[in-house]
């Protein structure tokens, strides 16, 4: 597109989540188990980290990128990554669940994988991007929505 004089921007997302996202993933599984007060099984040691980006932050970034005419490739990530064990603990807290966590029943095949080197620096510099919704804000909204399903 750029070779034809058309500016484009590509946002590389980490792990998106939010309302109306029906995908079966670690977030939806942990939340559904916590809502039902069932045991949450965390694979491996629970130390593997993942970066979750809330859909509200994605929408705001897209709106800002359209208004500011940026072009190129950009990483859109959350400020912080979270370990699977910490994620399970946080979801239990946010849902007021009586769930227990069991760690290490199954191997986490991704536990020793190297994470890509994502960076918010280009978006922050060129778009003055700031995360509007924290992980907790996004999880609270997502949990509320999943409870109504």
Q: Give the residue-averaged pLDDT of 134-144.
A: 98
Please count the other Cβ atoms lying within 10 Å of the Cβ belonging to residue 18: 20
Does residue 1 register a pLDDT over 60? Answer: no
How confident is residue 22, by pLDDT bands cut at 50, 70 and 90? confident
pTM: 0.88
Using one digit for the tens of pLDDT, what is the confidence trace for 58-74?
999 999 988 887 889 99
Percentage of residues of the chain with pLDDT beyond 90: 71
Could you tell me whether strands 15-17 and 40-42 are parallel, antiparallel, or unpaired per DSSP bridges? unpaired
Indicate the DSSP class of residue 80: -
Indicate the range of 40-44, 98-102, 115-119, 124-128 predicted with least confidence. 115-119
pLDDT for 32: 97
Q: Give the residue-averaged pLDDT of 69-84.
A: 92
pLDDT for 135: 98
List of E strands, 35-145: 40-42, 49-50, 52-54, 72-76, 82-83, 101-103
How confident is residue 21, by pLDDT bands cut at 50, 70 and 90? confident
Candidate CATH numbers 3.40.50.720, 3.40.190.10, 3.40.50.970, 2.102.10.10; the one for domain 2-148: 3.40.50.720
Q: Give the residue-averaged pLDDT of 76-80.
A: 94
Question: Among candidates 20, 12, 40, 16, which has minimal Cα distance to 98?
Answer: 40
Token readout for 94 is: 């946010």
């Amino acid at each position: 597109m750029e070779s034809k004089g058309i500016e484009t921007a590509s946002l590389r997302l980490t792990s998106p989540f939010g309302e109306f996202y029906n995908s079966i993933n670690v977030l939806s599984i942990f939340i559904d188990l916590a809502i039902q007060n069932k045991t949450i099984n965390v694979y491996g040691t629970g130390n593997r980290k993942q970066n979750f980006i809330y859909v509200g932050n994605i929408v705001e970034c897209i709106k800002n990128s359209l208004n500011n005419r940026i072009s190129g490739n950009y990483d859109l990530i959350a400020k912080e990554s979270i370990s699977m064990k910490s994620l399970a603990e946080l979801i239990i807290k946010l849902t007021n669940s009586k769930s227990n966590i069991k760690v290490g029943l199954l191997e986490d095949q991704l536990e020793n994988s190297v994470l890509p080197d994502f960076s918010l620096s280009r978006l922050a510099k060129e778009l003055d991007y700031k995360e509007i919704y924290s992980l907790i804000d996004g999880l609270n909204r997502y949990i509320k929505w999943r409870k109504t399903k």
